[in-house]
């Protein structure tokens, strides 16, 4: 882990994780403080669907050079520098908006930041795979996870604390300055040695092989539709909770500093502990049982938010609720990643995994966008009870699949969760 290459991957993981919460839960706290309605906050989550669509423009990073820059620093590093510069610019631009006066402008900058961040993710993932030796890929995944989590700590808890002390404009500008960590790392790192990109003439054939064939292969499997329905619904209740969590905390009267420290500092640590426990359970009992009980834990933990809504702004109870919820999310999240990995055909591993995770993220984003409207119709306690039952359809489909899959999924090696909050 002290190898120079792995330190580079750690820093790139930080740069990858830094923008993520600035377009989602951190932004929702700002919108709630600005008086934006819950319904509109819910629909703002659509900006995160950009991450689910990144496979659509990933071929551009593989084939097109950046004018002038690619010839000087290489294809991967050129695209990383461009995406990092765009991330920093979008952070500053988003911070300069006033959501109370013109929410449309805030939304536009949010989409711009999500696009730049997703583009950076594409290039960093490719760089890591090409840069590290095969024997280092496991350690590289662990270092990426750690860096990503540190980035989330900065843009989650750190941004909220700065906003509480100096305002949102300063908070987002500070995050833009932290993007320099990624820029400096890119500048001092070597370009990986790879073969040249396929010629543009083979682009159509490449699209067929990279996107059409893997998806067609998946759909020919038994229970493919049920599996896709499960993928889309497994964390639906959690997604409904997440999209309204920060507005709920603000309504209860917790300060931004309290929210940041409890949910995005302490909470992230509990998520990592839950992920570690989930990895051990997957190895001991298998993927599907861990997936099922993890789903029950995630859905059940939402009831604790209903209790918090009834009790009010109790900091000890707040800490207890976040402890249980984040641990459950880490446990269920790692089982979900292991399950998706087990579904991949070895001939299409990377593409099928990307397509499935994109489908999971996209469906959750679209379905959860109505959470703000729902929260406007009912009180907070009722809302969180509803989110608990929203997790039931996914669990029912999983139960059905467990009964119809003759060969249980094999226990897998421990896996990493890069964004259990999404």
Q: What is the pLDDT of residues 114-158, one digit of tens each?
A: 999 988 988 887 787 777 776 665 556 657 767 887 888 888 878
Q: Has residue 284 got a pLDDT over 90?
A: no
Confidence at residue 206, expressed as pLDDT on a 0 to 100 scale: 62
10 Å Cβ neighbour count for 17? 26
Q: Has residue 414 got a pLDDT over 50?
A: no
Angle value at C-alpha 419, between 413 and 422, nearest 5 degrees: 130
Of the candidate ranges 194-203, 239-248, 269-278, 352-361, the one whose mean pLDDT is the lowest: 194-203
Q: Which helix (H) or strand (E) holds 403?
A: helix 392-404
Q: Has residue 76 got a pLDDT over 90?
A: no
Distance, in Å, from the CA atom of 267 to the CA atom of 327, rounded to the nearest integer, reads 8
Confidence at residue 202, expressed as pLDDT on a 0 to 100 scale: 55
Q: Has residue 355 got a pLDDT over 80?
A: no
Rounded (to 5) percent helix, strand, coil in the chain: 80, 0, 20
Confidence at residue 90, expressed as pLDDT on a 0 to 100 scale: 94
Mean of pLDDT values over 366-387:
83
Q: Which residue has the higher pLDDT, 167 or 205?
A: 167
Tell me the three state secondary structure of residue 359: helix
Confidence at residue 308, expressed as pLDDT on a 0 to 100 scale: 93
Confidence at residue 86, expressed as pLDDT on a 0 to 100 scale: 95
Of the candidate ranges 107-116, 278-287, 406-415, the one whose mean pLDDT is the lowest: 406-415
For residue range 232-282, what is the model confidence (pLDDT) as tens digits?
A: 888 888 888 887 888 889 888 888 788 878 887 788 788 878 877 877 787
Mean of pLDDT values over 301-307:
92
Confidence at residue 63, expressed as pLDDT on a 0 to 100 scale: 67
Please give the share of the chain, as a percent, with pLDDT higher than 70. 83
Q: Are 52 and 358 in contact, with CB atoms under 8 Å apart?
A: yes
Please provide the average confidence, as pLDDT, over all residues in the chain: 79
Confidence at residue 408, expressed as pLDDT on a 0 to 100 scale: 39
- Give the range with max mean pLDDT: 67-76, 179-188, 221-230: 179-188
Distance, in Å, from the CA atom of 158 to the CA atom of 151, rounded to the nearest integer, reads 10
Confidence of residue 377 (pLDDT cuts 50, 70, 90): confident
Q: Has residue 329 got a pLDDT over 80?
A: yes
Distance, in Å, from the CA atom of 50 to the CA atom of 111, rounded to the nearest integer, reads 7
Count helices and strands in the chain by DSSP H and E runs: 24, 0
Distance, in Å, from the CA atom of 213 to the CA atom of 316, rounded to the nearest integer, reads 52
Confidence at residue 149, expressed as pLDDT on a 0 to 100 scale: 77
Confidence of residue 203 (pLDDT cuts 50, 70, 90): low
Distance, in Å, from the CA atom of 47 to the CA atom of 365, rounded to the nearest integer, reads 9
């Amino acid at each position: 882990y002290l190898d120079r290459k792995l330190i580079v991957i750690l820093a790139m993981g930080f740069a990858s994780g830094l923008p993520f919460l600035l377009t989602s839960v951190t932004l929702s706290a700002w919108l709630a403080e600005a008086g934006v309605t819950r319904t509109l906050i819910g629909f703002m989550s659509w900006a995160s669907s950009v991450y689910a669509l990144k496979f659509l423009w990933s071929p551009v990073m593989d084939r097109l050079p950046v004018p002038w820059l690619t010839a000087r620093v290489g294809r991967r590093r050129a695209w990383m520098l461009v995406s990092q510069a765009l991330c920093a610019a979008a952070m500053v631009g988003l911070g300069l908006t006033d959501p109370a006066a013109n929410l449309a402008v805030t939304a536009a900058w949010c989409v711009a930041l999500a696009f730049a961040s997703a583009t950076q993710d594409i290039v960093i993932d490719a760089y890591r795979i090409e840069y590290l030796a095969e024997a280092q890929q496991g350690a590289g995944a662990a270092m990426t996870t750690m860096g990503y989590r540190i980035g989330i700590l900065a843009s989650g808890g750190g941004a909220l604390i700065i906003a509480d002390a100096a305002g949102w404009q300063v908070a987002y500008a500070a995050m833009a300055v932290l993007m320099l960590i990624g820029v400096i790392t890119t500048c001092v790192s070597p370009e990986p040695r790879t073969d040249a990109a396929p010629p543009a003439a083979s682009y159509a054939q490449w699209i067929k092989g990279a996107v059409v064939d893997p998806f067609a292969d998946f759909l020919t499997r038994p229970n493919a539709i049920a599996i896709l329905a499960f993928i889309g619904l497994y964390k639906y209740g959690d997604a409904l909770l997440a999209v309204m969590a920060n507005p709920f905390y603000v309504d209860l009267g917790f300060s931004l500093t309290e929210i940041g420290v409890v949910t995005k500092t302490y909470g992230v640590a509990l998520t990592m502990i839950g992920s570690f426990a989930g990895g051990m359970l997957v190895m001991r009992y298998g993927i599907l049982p861990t997936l099922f009980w993890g789903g029950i834990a995630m859905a059940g933990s939402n009831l604790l938010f209903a209790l918090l809504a009834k009790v009010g702004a109790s900091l000890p109870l707040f800490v207890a609720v976040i402890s249980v919820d984040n641990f459950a999310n880490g446990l269920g999240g790692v089982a979900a990643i292991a399950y998706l990995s087990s579904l991949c055909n070895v001939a299409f591993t990377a593409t099928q995994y990307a397509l499935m995770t994109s489908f999971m993220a996209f469906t959750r984003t679209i379905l959860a966008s109505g959470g703000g409207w729902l929260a406007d119709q009912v009180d907070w306690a009722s809302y969180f009870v509803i989110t608990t039952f929203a997790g039931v359809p996914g669990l029912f489909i999983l139960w059905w699949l467990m009964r119809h899959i003759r060969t249980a999924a094999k226990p897998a090696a421990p896996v990493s969760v890069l964004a259990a909050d999404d």
